[in-house]
């Protein structure tokens, strides 16, 4: 299996790149943000509860997102591999992911972390907010909180994968195609 954690702060381009990578490498894309937004759209109890945290730019509880990912991994038992986008966002989630994959005799092949400076992130997210209508992309204070939460709670996940020798930094500034080609070069080296 080829299992990639596509990592980076909000606005780093994870979703865009994941869509391109899944086609090239025939992987299943698992985005916890997308799954949560579908839960909100269909007004499930889980979605309505998660929305409270998402509207503030805070993280949804580990227990909820771990359960969601586990269900998706189980539902895709024939997958050649997964691209994890927006997950894991805490070290507890990373540890849970290792355990889930171990049950399938699998592991994370690489954690590719996109680097983009904060001003560029804010610019990209405000632009995306105009097009996508995502509420959490339209408010500068919420965006800044998401970046703060990323630095405090999510960035330590880098250390977890670095200790496993799975971490690679990727420059996330440039054209979509340039960044895609950097990611492909990194993936082709680990295959």
Q: Which residues bind ligand AMP (CB under 6 A)?
A: 10, 32-33, 36, 53-54, 57-60, 65, 86-87, 89, 93, 136, 146
**Which of 51, 72, 124, 128 is flagged as catalytic?**
128
Distance from C-alpha of 191 to C-alpha of 176, rounded to nearest angstrom: 23
CA distance 143 to 57: 7
The answer to whether 38 is a known catalytic residue is: no
Strand partners for 4: 83, 110
- Nearer to ligand AMP by Cβ, of 63 and 185: the residue is 63
Q: Which residue's C-beta sits nearest to ligand AMP?
A: 33
- Look up 140 and say whether it is catalytic: no
- Compute CA distances 79 → 94, 122, 183, whole Å: 20, 35, 21
Residues with Cβ < 8 Å from 61, sequence gap 6 or more? 53
Clarify whether 182 is annotated catalytic. no
Q: Which of 89, 124, 166, 182 is catalytic?
A: 89
Cβ-based nearer residue to ligand AMP, 59 or 179 = 59
Whether 134 is a known active-site residue: answer yes
Q: Which active-site residues does the annotation give?
A: 14, 89, 128, 134, 146
């Amino acid at each position: 299996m080829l299992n990639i954690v596509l990592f980076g702060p909000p606005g780093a381009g994870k979703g865009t790149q994941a869509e391109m990578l899944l086609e090239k490498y025939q992987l299943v894309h698992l985005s916890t943000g997308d799954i949560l937004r579908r839960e909100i759209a269909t007004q499930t109890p889980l979605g309505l509860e998660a929305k409270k945290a998402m509207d503030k730019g805070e993280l949804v509880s580990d227990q909820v997102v771990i359960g969601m990912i586990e269900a998706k991994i189980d539902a895709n038992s024939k997958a050649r591999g997964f691209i994890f986008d927006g997950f894991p966002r805490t070290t507890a989630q990373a540890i849970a992911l290792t355990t889930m994959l171990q049950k399938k005799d699998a592991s994370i092949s690489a954690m590719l972390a996109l680097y983009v400076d904060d001003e560029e992130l804010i610019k990209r997210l405000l632009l995306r907010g105009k097009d996508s209508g995502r509420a959490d992309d339209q408010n500068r204070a919420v965006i800044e909180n998401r970046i703060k939460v990323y630095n405090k709670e999510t960035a330590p996940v880098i250390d977890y994968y670095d200790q496993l020798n799975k971490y690679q930094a990727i420059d996330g500034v440039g054209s979509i195609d340039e960044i895609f080609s950097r990611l492909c070069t990194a993936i082709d080296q680990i295959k």
